[in-house]
Structure 1
Amino acid sequence: MSEDNILTPNGWVRGRVVHEHGKVVSIEGVPCDPADNDLPYLLPGFIDLHVHGGGGKDIMEGAPAFETITRTHVRFGTTSLLATTMTAPSEEISSVLKAVGEFCETRPQGSARVLGVHLEGPYINPGKLGAQPNFAHTALMAEVEEYLALAPIRVITIAPEIAGHAALIRDLSNRGVRMQIGHTLGSYEEGVAALEAGATSFTHLYNAMSPLHHREPGIVGAALAHARYAELIPDLLHVHPGAIRVALRSIPCLYCVTDSTAAAGMPDGQYKLGSHTVTKCLGGVRLPDGTLAGSTLTMDQALRNLVKIGLPIAEASQRLSQFPADYLGITERGRLQPGAWADCVRLDRSLTLTAVMVEGEDIDFKNA
């Protein structure tokens, strides 16, 4: 069997991964420096915690869309993901959550694993919707309880400055839900208070939040000064490479997401994003007024973009796999080691994806 440069938690190993029943049994090989050979790279599968759609389908379309979305993203190395909702009427959110909850119980052949839900809204500031439809409202625990009963909600994006949200952040954090600050006009002080209450990350850092100013640091300032985790979209369109570097120096476990829409993996044209119609062109996705509306980014391109701006391959991989897994408290994904799921991606020396494995299944992504 051919050898690879395998990225393990203890560094690079030249060798092969042995797996049985979907789990890694052993990694056979010797420590190496990939610069000393021309073998491919074998990295942990990418974990995307912010996925709205792909392959022409949107999460808010419900069950008929899920398999297309997961099959689309696995073609680009995403082995597990969070299905991410849009701000919408409560009955629509409930319907989608019920469908996602049922879908999470299995994994169709040739698909990425859905780990649960990222509820992006409706608990956001109506003055900072970004591309979210205008159905934002204050969170009530009774409604959240109904949602939690329908699906494994791993992450909730919330605007901390809205009355009552600080208490909700504290209560839900104590129950293991990751509360993320986003779509917010909050102040630096409100961001810090939210972190102290239990918030753990920031949704698409820099985007749809009060910016950094030297006399009003805003939510961005709170993140850069205090956060351990934050998600960021590295398509080099949402965030300037210089601003990415600032975040990398400030936030130890900065991890990357795609915030991908139905347009991901598709040609230019019009697509759905929740109740919005968006247009893919010039490498981005926008509302009619020009507002960025999610992205067309895929995780393999995210890796290449991070390397392009100067990150070593090992660190870029960490921010696409290990850190997202760590953030969710998952120890069996995001790393290649005995006992972990056999989720991995192989890339050639130009960082072109050549193979994907999900839970021990070789994905025939080139013919998908």
Structure 2
Amino acid sequence: MSTAPTRLAGNVLTPEGWRLGEIRLEQGRIAAIEGSPVDPSTNDAPRLIPGFVDLHVHGGGGADAMEGREAVSTLARTHLRFGTTSLLATTMTARPEEVRAVLGEISGYMEAPDPAASRVLGVHLEGPFINPGKLGAQPAHAQVASVAEMDELMALAPILLITLAPEISGHGEVIRHLTDKGVRVQLGHTLGSYEEGVEALSHGACGFTHLFNAMTALHHRKPGMVGAALAHAEYAEIIPDLLHVHPGAIRTALRCIPRLYAVTDSTAAAGMPDGDYRLGEQKVTKCLGGVRLADGTLAGSTLTMDQALRNFVSVGLSLAEASDRLSRFPADFLGRRDIGRLEAGARADIVTLDPELTLTSVHLDGRLVSGEPHVTHA
């Protein structure tokens, strides 16, 4: 790991657009951005964009979040190499005692985090409060949520995001309670109808988990949960590995959902060779670019955020638009203004790309943590 430089030079993506100039760094923050407006396609200078923010990460580097503290460190180190500077450690559906144990492990890790790893912002609790008829790759330990249990779980770790099936009896009350507590609620792993999705949004739910996957599909006389998302959502996550969702469906979602954002839903197999890995208590196999259960069900992904960026560009987004959906929008979804953007006062989390969109370096809090420096020093 390198010491922090004082300046980074190139095409800088700010919230107001591209500038050709320099980012001035002080004490891990962006002090100022200097330069003139530019079209980056007119030069070969590096592209500097915000570090990626991944709100759905199960694993990476051979490690699964459900394995505890050391596994969280490993997965966070792995994803930092691919430009993810902030993430939510994401749990799997499991027995109550296992969920509680791993929340304690993640909380312990966050008290003494690995400085050479992505920043772990908190927990995405994906399950166990889902529909047992729409498990996807989740183990068969679905439960019904209660307000009391949610309070118990939130006392164990900083849970920032929870996936729920809204059609389960009592989950409307839980959604209202979580919203009042400042927790973001996404709808997913659900057999709910369009009407149940819309009702959940009225109770405070504000997103959808891996849009199109593990939810009722759109039909013109039965719009389903997908229809509720396309018609009403401001935010939703999507897995742009071009395997979970067809490029045409991604384009549809981009037209309908203003702040659609990318997640990897990555497993222990991310950043690893083909072979067998764990996803919670399940054994999964990485081959042919995907991860599957023995019956062929897609089970998370091997996606990294730098590839998600290139995939978004391949379906028609500009680099600036793609960057927003990997950084600014997920940060905004969590209410974080200090990450996901390059502007004065924000954390100096910076990804550098060459003109072919190959990642060349990553800075976390202004420190070079991956790749080669291309800096000027004051």
Q: How many residues align?
A: 366
After superposition, residues 107-146 of structure 1 pair within 5 angstroms as 107-146=113-152
The match for 2:56 is: 50
Long gaps (5+) in structure 2: 1-6, 373-378
Matching of residue 209 in structure 1 with residue 233 in structure 2: no
1:156 aligned residue (153, 162, 166) = 162
SS in structure 2 of the partner of residue 5 of structure 1? strand
After superposition, residues 284-323 of structure 1 pair within 5 angstroms as 284-323=290-329
- Give, as a single letter, the amino acid of the residue that structure 1 aligns with 2:345: G
The match for 1:60 is: 66
Q: For residues 107 and 17 of structure 1, do their structure 2 counterparts lie closer, same or farther at Cα, with a shift above 3 Å needed? A: farther
Is residue 88–residue 120 contact of structure 2 (8 Å, CA) maintained in 1?
yes
Residue 104 of structure 1: how far off its partner (Å): 2.0
Residue 171 of structure 1: how far off its partner (Å): 1.1
The match for 1:333 is: 339
Deviations 1:227-286 (A, max 9, x none): 000000000000000000110000000000000000000000000000000000000000
The match for 1:248 is: 254
The match for 1:268 is: 274
- Give, as a single letter, the amino acid of the residue that structure 1 aligns with 2:369: I
After superposition, residues 145-224 of structure 1 pair within 5 angstroms as 145-224=151-230
Name the stretch that deviates more: 313-322 or 28-37: 28-37
1:73 aligned residue (43, 68, 79) = 79
Is residue 228–residue 252 contact of structure 1 (8 Å, CA) maintained in 2?
yes
In 1: Cα distance, 2:27 partner to 2:323 partner: 25
Is residue 110–residue 364 contact of structure 1 (8 Å, CA) maintained in 2?
no
Matching of residue 226 in structure 1 with residue 215 in structure 2: no
- Give, as a single letter, the amino acid of the residue that structure 2 aligns with 1:296: T
Is residue 217–residue 226 contact of structure 2 (8 Å, CA) maintained in 1?
yes
The match for 1:98 is: 104
Residue 67 of structure 1: how far off its partner (Å): 1.3
Name the stretch that deviates more: 109-118 or 26-35: 26-35
Is residue 119–residue 155 contact of structure 1 (8 Å, CA) maintained in 2?
yes
Residue 2 of structure 1: how far off its partner (Å): 6.6
In 2: Cα distance, 1:90 partner to 1:322 partner: 34
In 2: Cα distance, 1:364 partner to 1:180 partner: 32
The match for 2:13 is: 7
In 1: Cα distance, 2:8 partner to 2:122 partner: 35
Is residue 74–residue 365 contact of structure 1 (8 Å, CA) maintained in 2?
no
- Give, as a single letter, the amino acid of the residue that structure 1 aligns with 2:154: L
Residue 99 of structure 1: how far off its partner (Å): 1.3
Provide the TM-score with structure 2 as the length reference.
0.95
Is residue 131–residue 190 contact of structure 2 (8 Å, CA) maintained in 1?
yes
* % identical aligned pairs: 65
Matching of residue 279 in structure 1 with residue 257 in structure 2: no
- Give, as a single letter, the amino acid of the residue that structure 2 aligns with 1:203: T
In 1: Cα distance, 2:72 partner to 2:176 partner: 32
SS in structure 2 of the partner of residue 127 of structure 1? coil
Provide the TM-score with structure 1 as the length reference.
0.98
Name the stretch that deviates more: 15-24 or 281-290: 15-24
Matching of residue 89 in structure 1 with residue 107 in structure 2: no
SS in structure 2 of the partner of residue 114 of structure 1? strand
SS in structure 2 of the partner of residue 133 of structure 1? coil
SS in structure 2 of the partner of residue 323 of structure 1? helix
In 2: Cα distance, 1:263 partner to 1:233 partner: 16
Is residue 286–residue 293 contact of structure 1 (8 Å, CA) maintained in 2?
yes
In 2: Cα distance, 1:231 partner to 1:105 partner: 28
The match for 1:351 is: 357
In 1: Cα distance, 2:13 partner to 2:114 partner: 27
The match for 2:3 is: none
Residue 107 of structure 1: how far off its partner (Å): 3.3
Residue 147 of structure 1: how far off its partner (Å): 0.9
Residue 74 of structure 1: how far off its partner (Å): 0.3
Residue 37 of structure 1: how far off its partner (Å): 1.1
Residue 365 of structure 1: how far off its partner (Å): 5.2
- Give, as a single letter, the amino acid of the residue that structure 2 aligns with 1:112: S
What is the alpha-carbon root mean square deviation over aligned residues? Answer: 1.0
SS in structure 1 of the partner of residue 82 of structure 2? coil
Residue 331 of structure 1: how far off its partner (Å): 0.4
